[in-house]
Structure formats: structure tokens, C-alpha cells
Chains A and B, each alone.
Chain A
Amino acid sequence: MKRNLTVKGMAALALALAAPVAMGEVSVEEYRAMLADKDANPGFLVIDQGEVLYKTKRGPKNASLEKCDFGLGPGKLKGAYAQLPRYFKDTKRVQDIESRLLTCTVTLQGFDEAEIKKKTFADQRYNETNTDIEMLAAYVAYQSNGMRINPPLKHPAEKEARKVGEAYFWNRHGPMDFSCATCHAEDGKRVRLQNLVNVYNKKDIQATMSTWPTYRVSHGVARNMQHRMWDCHWQMRTPDIEFGSPATTALISFLTHQAKGGTYDLPGMKR
């Protein structure tokens, strides 16, 4: 990646990083205005870190991830994220970017899946920096920047994931009786001051999906869709939904298909 943070950008960045605690409910638009210079998105630093990690020989097999196949062939990164989630023959299931990364760290590098799953997200309460898998996903996703969201829908498993993902979107459970649809199926809704995406509004869901992975100002780290799925379940008061699980993958399939035709504008920047 060839971007450099400008001096002006760095000043704005320092402001923004100091802001989250003090500013509470400041809108993303205001953050964006502060950070008018897109080069100042701290997500770019995470992408750079992800690139180094991706190319470094690591793990019991002392291998890099450069041969990882995201659907377009081993090592073909350009445009791969734009065509995820998709069905993979080797694992015989539909995978999103993060569950696929998990597969590659296990098969190519020899890492232990259960061990990685113990700690997939940085904990913003302790100012942690991004986890390896968060950085890797940010880097791989960025290789589809500017491309159309275009997940395949040929394999029966891809059709099934999308369909069951939508049905799960309407599934009400937990002590709050919530489903995803409670908050994300109508225009113009808010929880407190936070605007809620309507996944049945094409423009709305395209704007959402095209900007993940995203830098989350309130967390001070880059976040990926698996984290957002966990976060919304946490708000729904369910147990922790598993990283890369069939349900998160089905939801992400559904959401990505709703956003088909949008253009990736990465990394995003959100509250």
C-alpha cells in the first residue's frame, strides 16, 4: 500500500483519537468532517500491518499466507473479497473472508483453530491493538477496494446460505425478544441517536457493506463483519455467537447479496 499519512491528516487524526471518550454521541459525519482527508483513516495503518503479517512466515509450518485461496485461486487477492462469501470445495461450505482466513492459518501455517478462536477481537476497553486475524482481513479486503460487491450465487450451498441467512435475520430469541429485523428492516430508524441500516433499502445496505472492514472510532481499532455480528448479538443479550460460525456466515451472505452492485470504499470509518 502506497498511502502516507499527511501532516494535516495526522493532526486531525490525533484529534479524532482523543475524541471518542469525550464526545460520546458525535455523528460519523462530524468525525468524517474532522478527517476530511481520507488518507488519515487510521484503518490504513492496520492494512499495512496486515500486509506485513500476511507475507511473513509464521506458525508451526513456518509458512506465509501468500498461497491462500480466497476463491480466485491460490495467492490471487485482487478482487477476491468482492466475490465473497462463496462456496469452497476443500472445506465443503460457504465461507466469508474471516472464516477463510482461519482455514488458511490452520492449513498453510499449522496454527490451532481452537487457540485462534479464543481471541479473535481486540478488546477496546483495554486499548488493545488489533488481533492478527483482524489485521489480515483488513489487508485482504482492501485488495478489492473500488470494485463492485458481487458474491456468486451459483452453487446450491450459496443459495441456501443466503436464504437461511435471511430467515435467521427474522429469528426472534433471547430475553429482549429481538431479531435483527427489529432494528434493521425499516427506513429512518434509530436506537438513541445511532442510525440503523435498513437491509431492505438497496442504497442503505450498499453504503453499509461497502465500508466494511471499517475503522471504529469509538473502539480505536479496525473492525470486521464477524465482530459486528457478534456485537449485535451481544446487544440482543444472546450468548456469544461463534466466530466464523454457520449463522454469522449465513447472515453475512444475506447482507452481502442485499448490497450487490455497491462499490467497495475501503477502509470505512464509523462511530
Chain B
Amino acid sequence: MKNRTLILSALLAGAFGTVHAAEDLSAKVEKLVASSFKPGEGQDMSRLVQDETQKLCSKYRNNPPAKDADALNKRERATIKYPDGNKLMGDWKNGEKLAKGGFGMRIGAIEPDPTAKQKGGNGGNCYACHALDPKEVAAGNIGPSLTGYGALRGASDDIVTYTYDKLYNAQATVACSSMPRMGHNGILTPQQVADITAYLVSPESPLNQK
């Protein structure tokens, strides 16, 4: 995908007015979106409004110029919030539940997630994209395998902070990452992010057992 986007940008740059072409297309996409969703019961139109980061990643098809990528990382880093007491290693058992969950935040009039059934918060959807617990075979591969994460990296403060930050806002370090900005976008609370951090890092976690 990277290669293709590179070739594409090169082709566009070779032609006239890269930026104009991209801006023009972005405006057309915005119009398309505005004419294809309708407000009403169960809908939340605010979800269609892009923030600066989503706009940039869309326009450059996840491959922004280095200067923009740096500014993006800085901006996203500034959003990171820590739980009260700054304890970034939470309860790995709760973290395990959250990591396995895929429920929550689906909306609309057709098949919204029933909020009444949703006691422990939104699922983190980690298994959609990552392998984690070696016993769980139904694991996706959009992101890298996290099996043995803590066993391989240890549990130093640096690793714990890196992990917490990655979960809270993946784009603080990787511009236009495919990983959702879990904390920043309100999918998970700071405490829940700390719980999943413990699930990844803690030596007791099943993820770190052979």
C-alpha cells in the first residue's frame, strides 16, 4: 500500500498543482458525505465531521509529507491524558476483558448496539487487528502480533509509558496509523487504557505465558 501511495503522490506531484488537485477532491468528498447521510433518531452526524488529523490522512491517503507528519505527532501527543494518580499499570484481568470485547458505539436506526447490555464499557477490538493471547486463534493481522509483548520487552517505566501512550493515541508516534485513537476518541477511558496496558505488559498476563 505504501508503495502504491508513493507512486501515486509522485505521479500527482509530476503533474501540475498536486495540492490543488487533492484539495479539490477533498471538497468533493465532503459534499458527497453531506448528501449521503441523514440526521434522525439514532444517528449522530457529528461523527462525520473530520478533525484536522483525519482530514490530513484522508487527503494524503495516509502518507503525509514529513513536515505535516511531525506536526501531527506533536498535536496528537498533546491530547494524551493519564488516569488519576498517574498509575499507568491497571488491572490486567479487566484489561483482558476489554481487549477481547468488540461491542459498542455502533449507531443508527437499523442495528444500534444496545447500550443497556453494555456494562463494562466499549470493547477495545484489539483481536480484530492483533494476535495477543496465544490461545486465541481468531486474531486479525492488520496490526503486528502482540503475543509475548511484556515477556519480550520487559516492564520498565519507559515500556509502560510507551504502551499506554500507544493505546491512548496511536498517532502520537505513528502519523496516520490504522489503529484507532482509543483514548483520545473516547472509546476507552484513561483507567481502561491503564488496564489494557497491564494486560500487555504484566508478567502474569496470559499474553506473556508460553
B-binding residues in A (CB < 8 A): 25, 121, 123, 125, 163-164, 167-168, 170-179, 181-183, 185-186, 188-193, 200, 230, 234-235, 237-242, 245-248, 250
| A241 & B180 in contact (Cβ 8 Å cutoff) | no
What DSSP secondary structure best describes chain A's contact surface? loop
Which 9 pairs, one residue from A and one from B, show the smallest C-beta to C-beta distance? A247-B36, A245-B36, A240-B108, A239-B43, A176-B180, A172-B54, A167-B25, A175-B185, A192-B138
23 inter-chain pairs at a CB distance below 8 angstroms, sorted by A residue, are A163-B25, A171-B58, A173-B33, A173-B48, A173-B54, A174-B47, A175-B105, A176-B125, A178-B180, A182-B142, A189-B140, A191-B129, A191-B142, A192-B138, A238-B37, A239-B47, A240-B110, A241-B36, A241-B37, A242-B37, A242-B38, A245-B36, A246-B35
A176→B54 CA distance, assembly (Å): 11
Q: A188-B141, A239-B37, A240-B108 are in contact. Are A172 and B58 (CB under 8 A)?
A: yes
A177 touches B185 (CB 8 A): yes
Provide the residues of chain B in CB contact with A185, threshold 8 Å: 1
Q: How large is the interface on B (under 10, 10 to 19, 20 to 34, 35 or more residues)?
A: 35 or more
Number of A-B pairs, beta carbon distance below 8 Å: 133
The residue in chain B whose Cβ has the minimal distance to the Cβ of A178 is B180
Is B71 part of the binding interface, using a Cβ–Cβ cutoff of 8 Å?
Answer: no
Residues of B within 8 A of A241 (CB): 36-37
Contact among B32, B43, B187 for A247, CB-based, below 8 A: B32
Contact check, A242 vs B142: say whether CB atoms are below 8 A apart.
Answer: no
A241 to B111, CA, bound (A): 12
Q: In whole Å, how far is A184's beta carbon from the nearest beta carbon of chain B?
A: 10
- Which residues of B have CB within 8 Å of A186? 1
